């Protein structure tokens, strides 16, 4: 294995930890990796990101609150946090943890999805399990979508650059 490929795999893995659906998976497809190699690398990255951000989410939320208090002290009206977004609450109320896990790889980023899930549902193991299932399912679906339309997308990106 040459250094270029090692760097590329590391980049795909790292990108998959934060921006899975529009970062890691397309990069793996455009790198012409076969199904097994692409899904292994991107799933490993997505699951690693979920585990990492689920475990540091309490620290992030506490420090985000301290940061907001320090630089934007609350006035008489309560300031809205990004975590108080109507979309997040609608997903949580309608579909629960499964809904948050479902939307995380494609709509949200993995850090935001993991932090939201742990904020609403304190059981980290359950959050990570749901995220793992969602990541694997979306990985397979997105791989085949990107792979199917690879020629059209490559042609578009080639002319756009």
Number of domains in the chain: 1
| 29 within a domain of the structure (yes/no) | yes
**Distance (Å, whole) CA 87 – CA 82:** 10
Q: What is the pLDDT at residue 1?
A: 67
Whether 18 and 111 have beta carbons less than 8 Å apart is answered as: yes
Percent of the chain topping pLDDT 90: 42
**Distance (Å, whole) CA 100 – CA 98:** 6
SS3 64: helix
Q: What is the pLDDT at residue 153?
A: 65
Unique residue bearing structure tokens 């990107």: 146
| 73 within a domain of the structure (yes/no) | no
77: part of which helix (H) or strand (E)? none
| 72 within a domain of the structure (yes/no) | no
**Distance (Å, whole) CA 125 – CA 109:** 19
| 22 within a domain of the structure (yes/no) | yes
**pTM of full prediction above 0.75:** yes
| 88 within a domain of the structure (yes/no) | yes
| 79 within a domain of the structure (yes/no) | no
Better-scored residue on pLDDT, 161 or 47: 47
**Distance (Å, whole) CA 29 – CA 80:** 39
Question: Is residue 109 over pLDDT 80?
Answer: yes
Question: Is residue 15 over pLDDT 90?
Answer: yes
39-96 pLDDT, tens digit per residue, is 999 999 999 999 999 999 888 878 887 887 888 776 645 555 555 567 666 777 788 8
Please give the mean pLDDT across all residues of the chain.
85
| 53 within a domain of the structure (yes/no) | yes
Which residues form the domain of 141?
3-67+84-160
Packed helices 110-120 and 86-103: angle between N→C axes, nearest 10 degrees:
110
Better-scored residue on pLDDT, 153 or 79: 153
Q: What is the pLDDT at residue 59?
A: 85
| 76 within a domain of the structure (yes/no) | no
Q: What is the mean pLDDT of residues 87-112?
A: 83
């Amino acid at each position: 294995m040459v250094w270029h490929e090692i760097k590329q795999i590391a980049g795909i893995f790292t990108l998959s930890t934060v921006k899975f659906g529009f970062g890691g998976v397309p990069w793996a497809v455009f790198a012409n990796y076969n199904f097994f190699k692409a899904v292994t690398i991107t799933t490993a990255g997505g699951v690693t990101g979920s585990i990492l951000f689920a475990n540091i989410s309490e620290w992030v939320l506490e420090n985000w609150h301290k940061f907001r208090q320090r630089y934007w002290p609350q006035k008489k009206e309560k300031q809205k946090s990004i975590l108080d977004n109507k979309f997040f609450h609608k997903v949580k109320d309608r579909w629960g943890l499964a809904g948050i896990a479902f939307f995380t790889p494609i709509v949200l980023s993995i850090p935001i999805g993991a932090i939201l899930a742990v904020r609403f549902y304190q059981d980290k193991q359950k959050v990570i399990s749901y995220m793992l299932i969602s990541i694997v399912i979306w990985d397979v679906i997105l791989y085949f979508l990107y792979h199917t339309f690879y020629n059209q997308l490559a042609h578009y990106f080639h002319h756009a650059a």
